[in-house]
């Protein structure tokens, strides 16, 4: 039965209530978000509800993961619509904190993201993962859940969080959830709403070229450079002018591979107009179409 979510603004109160629920034997799941919810986020809530008795969603546009000149100011803030979407679920708790509650005035402590943050996104957004690691650790403090659910769409982000949790011995299970795509293949993202219809058409070449690359691997292609070149060519043909990277890498270390002879992740980041898009696909051996 749909029910309005219980909204908390005070992190300390949320933590107290979570502790009480856990003392009553409830398993708690956490879905950290920046709001502007779409089906990708909702799939994380659904996944949490499968294995947890209580799901906590956080909605916080985290300033420290945006560099000056990125889209922090224009990032969509759609709280009312988000709460409506969440009311379709079994009741969830939602934390909507003020910036001062997450970054108490005068605070200067931050988390330095693990080394896996350095390539790919780290090259183009050097401060991004320090900001993500800092806020995610804070969210784990205020919402000390048993498990936290993250989408594989932000593949490197999930790897950063997995390594941070291992390194800092944070007692939480990290659950990776599959990418949710529009019917035409576009990976769901809060930033898709920035795209004009013409840009959206161009954007589709990302998922198409990833799909084609997987088919070529299924067909026996092992030359990673050849596949990277083909993906880049397809993106340029479609209209992308700014391609940050096309990488075929180890899913564990994110180091680029030359010969595809085991599991790989193919990652792309490219900009259409002013919108930067990322997408990826995991290829697990033995491969099949």
Binding residues vs ligand PAF (CB under 6 A): 32-34, 62, 65, 132, 135-136, 154, 157
When the beta carbons of 32 and 122 are compared against ligand PAF, the nearer one is 32
Which of these is catalytic: 38, 41, 128, 252?
A: 41
We find the least distance from the C-beta atom of residue 22 to ligand PAF, in angstroms, to be 22
Label residues 51-87 b or e (16+ Cβ within 10 Å = b).
ebebbbbbbbbbebbbeeeeeeeebbeeeeebbebbe
For the chain, counts of helices (H) and of strands (E): 9, 9
Contact 205, 234 (CB under 8 A): yes
When the beta carbons of 140 and 202 are compared against ligand PAF, the nearer one is 140
How many angstroms separate the CA atoms of 252 and 8, rounded? Answer: 36
Active site residue 211: no
We find the least distance from the C-beta atom of residue 33 to ligand PAF, in angstroms, to be 5
We find the least distance from the C-beta atom of residue 120 to ligand PAF, in angstroms, to be 15
We find the least distance from the C-beta atom of residue 32 to ligand PAF, in angstroms, to be 4
When the beta carbons of 54 and 135 are compared against ligand PAF, the nearer one is 135
When the beta carbons of 65 and 209 are compared against ligand PAF, the nearer one is 65
Beta-bridge mates of residue 279: 268
Whose tokens are 């996944």? That residue is 47
Q: Which residues are catalytic?
A: 41
């Amino acid at each position: 039965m749909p029910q309005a979510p219980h909204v908390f603004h005070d992190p300390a109160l949320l933590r107290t209530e979570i502790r009480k629920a856990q003392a009553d034997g409830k398993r708690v799941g956490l879905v950290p978000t920046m709001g502007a919810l779409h089906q990708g986020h909702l799939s994380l809530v659904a996944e949490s509800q499968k294995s947890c008795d209580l799901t906590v969603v956080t909605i916080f546009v985290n300033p420290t993961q945006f560099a000056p000149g990125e889209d922090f100011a224009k990032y969509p803030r759609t709280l009312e619509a988000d709460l409506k979407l969440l009311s379709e679920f079994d009741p969830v708790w939602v934390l909507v904190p003020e910036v001062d509650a997450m970054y108490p005035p005068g605070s200067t402590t931050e988390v330095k993201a693990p080394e896996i943050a350095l390539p790919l996104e780290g090259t183009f957004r050097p401060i991004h993962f320090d900001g993500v690691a800092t806020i995610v650790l804070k969210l784990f403090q205020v919402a000390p859940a048993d498990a936290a659910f993250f989408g594989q769409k932000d593949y490197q982000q999930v790897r950063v969080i997995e390594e941070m949790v291992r390194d800092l011995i944070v007692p939480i299970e990290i659950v990776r959830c599959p990418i949710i795509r529009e019917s035409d293949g576009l990976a769901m993202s809060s930033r898709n709403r920035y795209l004009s219809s013409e840009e959206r058409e161009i954007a589709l070449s990302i998922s198409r070229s990833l799909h084609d690359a997987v088919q070529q691997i299924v067909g026996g292609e092992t030359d990673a450079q050849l596949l990277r070149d083909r993906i880049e060519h397809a993106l340029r043909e479609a209209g992308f002018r700014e391609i940050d990277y096309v990488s075929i890498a180890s899913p564990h270390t994110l180091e680029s591979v030359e010969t595809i002879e085991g599991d790989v992740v193919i990652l792309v980041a490219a900009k259409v107009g002013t919108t930067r898009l990322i997408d990826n696909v995991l290829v697990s051996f033995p491969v099949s179409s």
